[in-house]
Copies of this chain bind each other. A is one copy, B any other.
Amino acid sequence: MVGAENLSRKEQVIRTASELFKQKGYSATSMRDLAQALGIEAASLYSHIKSKEEILQALCFEMAKRFQRSLREVEGADISYSERLRRGITGHIHVMAKELTASAVFMNEHRHLSQPYLRDFLLMRINYINRFKKIIEGGIKAGEFKAVDTKLAVMTLFSSLNWMPHWYDPSGIIDPSELGNQLAGMLIEGLKTK
């Protein structure tokens, strides 16, 4: 099956690229670096991908889709805003934990997308953030949350989620659900003892 072989090899290229992009950044990673990591010549990469940027596009949009899908499942549910926030956070962390490297690239390297991809990406991201913001605003209107600055609240949450690929070790003692519960707990209940 030629098709399946090509697909799997292409994915192998994308995964290896993802690791290099995370480590060194997109711009500082050359196609020769990538080829060397795969044990082939740089020119051979172009049998599997059209361009360097195509790899970044594949990574960024695949992750964006996964994060969007995860959040959508929570929005319809008939539950409290605290619970909705908790599930949104846990869902995000699950997606992230399954693709830690791609998540880091998604977060830090998307600015190297060219137009119109960059614009599309940023629209998806602002949409994602706004949906979390709506949950927080809903909680405030319902009297469940304090009247905090919603931009600060959502940015604090989003920052925390974004930075996790840099320090979270999924093989450690704390699993994604537990991490999500603890983050949600901390943001909702605060650090202070009652």
- A residues within 8 Å of B by Cβ? 24-28, 82, 108, 111-112, 136, 139, 143-146, 148-149, 151-153, 155-156, 158-160, 162-164, 167, 174, 179, 182-183, 185-194
Closest CB in chain B relative to A11 CB, distance in Å: 26
Chain B residues near A185: list those with CB within 8 A.
148
Closest CB in chain B relative to A93 CB, distance in Å: 11
Closest CB in chain B relative to A115 CB, distance in Å: 14
Closest CB in chain B relative to A95 CB, distance in Å: 17
Instruction: Known A25-B25, A149-B182, A156-B183; judge A190-B192 contact (CB<8 A).
Output: yes
Alpha-carbon separation in the docked complex, A39 to B163 (Å): 37
Chain B residues near A193: list those with CB within 8 A.
143-146
Q: Which one of B26, B162, B182, B194 lies within 8 Å of A152 (CB-CB)?
A: B182
Instruction: Known A136-B191, A146-B192, A163-B158; judge A152-B27 contact (CB<8 A).
Output: no
Alpha-carbon separation in the docked complex, A189 to B158 (Å): 19
B156 near A186: Cβ-Cβ < 8 Å: yes
Alpha-carbon separation in the docked complex, A191 to B24 (Å): 37
Given contacts A145-B193, A152-B179, A194-B194, 19 further A-B contacts (CB under 8 A): A24-B111, A25-B26, A25-B27, A25-B112, A27-B27, A143-B193, A145-B191, A148-B182, A149-B182, A152-B182, A153-B191, A156-B160, A156-B183, A156-B186, A159-B163, A186-B190, A188-B190, A189-B192, A190-B192
Closest CB in chain B relative to A125 CB, distance in Å: 11
